[in-house]
Amino acid sequence: MLEKSAYSVGSVSRALNLVDHIINAPHEGLTLSEIMRETKGSKSATFALLRTLIDHGYLRITEPGPRYLPGMALIRLGDLASARDPIASISRSILNDLSVKTGLTVRIARNDNGYPVFIERVDGPGMVRFFTPLGVRELPHISSVGKAILAQLPNEQIRQIAEESGLAARTPKSITTVSKLMTDIRKVRVRGYAVDDEEDAQGVFCVGAAFFDHSGSCAGGISATGIKTDLSAEKVEKLGKLVFKHAEIITKALGGRTKSRSQ
């Protein structure tokens, strides 16, 4: 946790804390009572901050609830960050190629100390669109890219991140214990790719793989996301190898190299 500056403004810190909780909430958003419980704020102060953030476009509400969700201002900030990010710029054609070959939505994320921060997205064809804001630090244990990034870290660091993040459940299939997470990480290291099987959102699956910078460190990951169907193990493996191949292409485009890890 970052040490607070002597010049830190309390109201701004509380507002940003609210935004952080809502960004990392389930896709359906949070109610006022849920936000109060997580942030330990009073009803009047929390509601006033929420309304201010809504007025400026950083949050929005949906019914029934009401429930609070990220607003368009946050999405625009994410898009701006993407436009200025060299990894996003280098990878756009690679993302397009993977999306065309799979028919799925493809995203790329930077590695932020073990957490994925998505910086670019190419939507797959068709009417289905996933609400996936850019520039947002996401939980690593429930996404394929997050687990692909974790797999590149020493086991002790993975356990520290798991303790820090809390391994919150988004669906009945979410991993919520360190032992199950480590079991899954071992599979990722053997296969070279990670799978999110309805762990972040019900009805949605995702396959991701890590890419590396010039020092051999994990710089981030790429993933392909779609609606869950009756995928055979053979089809999942075929998709995993394709995502892994495109992650390797990004590594080469960055002048990167894969470095062996000590676990």
* Residue in this structure with the two tokens 């958003």, named with its chain if needed: 29
Q: Is CATH 3.65.10.10 the classification given to domain 85-253?
A: no
Instruction: Indicate if the pLDDT at residue 110 is higher than 60.
Output: yes
| Terminal Cα distance for the chain, rounded | 25
What's the mean per-residue pLDDT of the chain?
Answer: 85
**Predicted local confidence at residue 2, as pLDDT:** 46
Looking at the domain covering 10-76, what would its CATH class be? mainly alpha
Residues of the chain with CATH 3.30.450.40: 85-253
Look at residue 206 and give its three-state secondary structure: strand
Query: For residues 183 and 87, what is the distance between their CA atoms, to the nearest angstrom?
Result: 30
> Per-residue pLDDT tens for 176-223?
999 999 999 999 999 999 999 999 988 899 999 999 988 899 999 999
**Predicted local confidence at residue 127, as pLDDT:** 46
SS3 content of the chain, % helix, strand, coil (to 5): 45, 20, 35
Residues of the chain with CATH 1.10.10.10: 10-76
| Residue 161: count of CB within 10 angstroms of its CB | 21
Query: For residues 159 and 207, what is the distance between their CA atoms, to the nearest angstrom?
Result: 22
Instruction: Decide which of 109 and 258 is more confident.
Output: 109
Confidence band for 144, pLDDT divided at 50, 70 and 90: very high
CA dihedral 15, 112, 27, 64 (to 10 degrees): 0
Query: For residues 234 and 215, what is the distance between their CA atoms, to the nearest angstrom?
Result: 34
**Predicted local confidence at residue 241, as pLDDT:** 96
Look at residue 102 and give its three-state secondary structure: helix
Residue type, 253: A
Q: Residue 66: is the preceding peptide bond cis (ω within 30°)?
A: yes
**Predicted local confidence at residue 199, as pLDDT:** 94
Mean pLDDT of 51-75: 82
